[in-house]
Chains A and B, each alone.
Chain A
Amino acid sequence: MASIQMDDLHKVYAGGVKAVTGISLDIADGEMIVLVGPSGCGKSTLLRMVAGLETISGGTLRIGDRVVNNLEPAERDIAMVFQNYALYPHMTVFNNLAYGLKNRKMPKDAIDRRVREAAKMLEIGDYLDRKPRNLSGGQRQRVAMGRALVREPSAFLFDEPLSNLDAKLRVQMRVEIRQLQKRLKTTSLYVTHDQLEALTMADRLVVMNAGRVEQVGTPMEVFDRPATVFVAGFIGSPAMNMIDAAYLRETGSADDLDGLPHGTDLIGVRPDDLLMTPPDGPHLRLAGRVALLEPAGAESHIYVALDDGDQPITVRVQGLPMVEDGARVNLYAALAALHPFDRVSGVRVT
Chain B
Amino acid sequence: MQTKRTTFSNAWLPYALLAPQVIVTLVFFIWPASQALWQSLFRQGDAFGIRPPSFVGLENFAALFRDSHYIDSLQVTLVFSVGTTVLAMSVSLLFAVMVNRMIRSRDTYTTFLVWPYAIAPAIAGVLWWFIFNPSIGILPYVLEGVGYDWNHRSSNTDAMILVILAAAWKQISYNFLFFLAGLQSIPQSLIEAAAIDGASRSKRFWTIILPLLSPVTFFLLVVNIVYAMFDTFGVIHATTEGGPAQATNILVYKVYRDGFVNLNMGSSAAQSVILMAIVIVLTVIQFRYIERRVNY
Report the bound CA distance from A270 to B150 in whole Å.
87
The A93-116 residues at the B interface (CB cut-off 8 A) are 99-100, 103-104
Q: Are B199 and A73 in contact (CB under 8 A)?
A: no
Residues in B with CB closer than 8 Å to A202 are none
Q: How far is the CB of B102 from chain A (nearest CB, A)?
A: 13
Contact B296 A89 (CB under 8 A): yes
Residues of A contacting B196 in the complex (Cβ-Cβ under 8 angstroms): 51-53, 73-74, 78-80, 100
| Mask: chain A, 138-170; 1 = CB below 8 Å from B; 0 = not | 000000000100010000000000000000000
- Nearest residue (CB) in B for A80 is B196
Which residue of B193, B207, B211 is within 8 Å of A86 (Cβ)? Answer: B193
Pairwise interchain contact A73-B192, C-beta atoms closer than 8 A: yes
A83 and B192 alpha carbons, distance in the complex (Å): 12
Q: Which of B192, B194, B296 contacts A99 (CB 8 A)?
A: B194
B185-212, CB < 8 A from A: 187, 189-190, 192-199, 203, 207-208, 211-212
Q: Would you call A183 an interface residue if the criterion is a C-beta within 8 Å of the partner chain's C-beta atoms?
A: no
Question: Out of B190, B192, B198, B203, which one reaches A88, CB within 8 Å?
Answer: B190
Q: Given the complex of chains A and B, what is the CA–CA distance between A89 and B213 in angstroms?
A: 12
Q: How far does the Cβ of A16 sit from chain B's closest Cβ, in whole Å?
A: 15
Residues of B within 8 A of A72 (CB): 195
User: In the complex the two chains form, what is the Cα distance from A100 to B193 in whole Å?
Assistant: 9
Check if A103 sits within 8 Å of B197, measured CB to CB: yes
Q: Are B198 and A133 in contact (CB under 8 A)?
A: no
Q: How far apart are A219's CB and chain B's nearest CB, in angstroms?
A: 28
Give chain B nearest CB distance to A47 CB in angstroms. 12
**How many Å from the CB of A179 to the closest CB on chain B?**
24
Q: Is A283 positioned at the interface, with any CB of B under 8 Å from its CB?
A: no
- With the chains together, A53 CA to B188 CA distance in Å? 11
A120–B198 CA distance with the chains assembled, in angstroms: 24
Q: Are B190 and A53 in contact (CB under 8 A)?
A: no
Question: Which of B197, B208, B295 makes the CB contact (< 8 A) with A100?
Answer: B197
Residues of chain B with a CB closer than 8 A to A73's CB: 192, 195-196
Asked if B211 and A90 make an inter-chain contact with CB atoms under 8 angstroms apart, the answer reads yes
Asked whether, in the complex, the Cβ of A100 is within 8 Å of the Cβ of B198, the reply is yes
A86 and B196 alpha carbons, distance in the complex (Å):
12
B133 → A minimal CB distance (Å)? 47
A83 to B193, CA, bound (A): 11
Least Cβ distance of B174 to chain A in Å? Answer: 25
Residue A84 CB within 8 A of the other chain: yes
Residues of B within 8 A of A74 (CB): 195-199
How many residues of chain B are within 8 Å of chain A by beta carbon?
Answer: 19
B195's partner among A53, A89, A131, A147 (CB-CB below 8 A) is A53
Docked Cα-Cα span, A243 to B208, in Å, equals 55
**Is A104 a contact partner of B190 (Cβ separation < 8 A)?**
no
CA distance A82 to B196 in the complex (A): 11
Instruction: Flag if A84 contacts B212 (CB, 8 Å).
Output: no
Chain A's closest residue to B192 (CB) is: A53
B187 partner residues in chain A, CB cutoff 8 A: 84, 86
Asked whether, in the complex, the Cβ of B203 is within 8 Å of the Cβ of A82, the reply is: no
Please indicate the chain B residues that have their CB under 8 angstroms from the CB of A99 in the complex.
194, 197, 199, 207
B residues in contact with A90, CB < 8 Å: 211-212, 214, 295-296
Residues of A within 8 A of B198 (CB): 74, 100, 103-104
Which residues does chain A contribute within 8 Å of B208, judged by CB atoms?
88
Taking the closest CB of chain B, its distance from the CB of A111, in whole angstroms, is 13
A151 to B193, CA, bound (A): 13
Inside 8 A of A131's CB, which chain B residues have their CB? 296
Q: Report the separation of the CA atoms of residues A147 and B199 in the bound assembly, to the nearest whole angstrom.
A: 14
B124-154 interface code vs A (CB 8 A; 1 in, 0 out): 0000000000000000000000000000000
* Proximity string of chain B (157-186) to chain A, C-beta cutoff 8 Å, 1 when within and 0 when not: 000000000000000000000000000000
| Distance from B198 Cβ to chain A, minimum over Cβ atoms (Å) | 4
Q: A151 to B147, alpha carbons, bound, how many Å?
A: 56
A103 touches B199 (CB 8 A): yes
Of all chain B residues, which has the CB nearest A133? B296
Contact call B197/A84, Cβ cutoff below 8 A? no
Query: Please, which residues of chain B bring their CB within 8 A of the CB of A104?
Result: 198
Q: Which residues of chain B have C-beta atoms less than 8 A from A151's C-beta?
A: 197
Give the chain B neighbours of A147 by CB distance below 8 A: 193, 197
Complex: how many Å from CA A79 to CA B196?
7
How far apart sit A49 and B187, CA to CA, in the bound complex (Å)? 19
| Measured CA separation A72–B221 after assembly (Å) | 36
What distance in Å separates the Cβ of A325 from its nearest Cβ neighbour in chain B?
A: 45
Which chain B residues (207-257) contact chain A, with CB distance < 8 Å?
207-208, 211-212, 214
In the complex the two chains form, is B296's CB within 8 Å of A86's CB? no
Chain A residues in the interface with B (C-beta under 8 A):
51-53, 72-74, 78-80, 82-84, 86, 88-90, 99-100, 103-104, 131, 133, 147, 151
Given A82-B189, A88-B190, A90-B296, 20 more pairs with CB closer than 8 A: A53-B195, A72-B195, A73-B192, A74-B199, A80-B193, A80-B196, A84-B187, A84-B189, A86-B190, A86-B192, A86-B193, A88-B193, A90-B214, A90-B295, A99-B194, A100-B197, A103-B197, A103-B203, A131-B296, A147-B193
> A-B pairs with the 10 shortest C-beta distances?
A100-B197, A90-B296, A103-B198, A86-B189, A74-B198, A86-B193, A90-B211, A73-B196, A89-B296, A73-B195
What are 5 A-B contacts with C-beta separation under 8 Å?
A73-B196, A80-B192, A86-B190, A88-B190, A90-B296
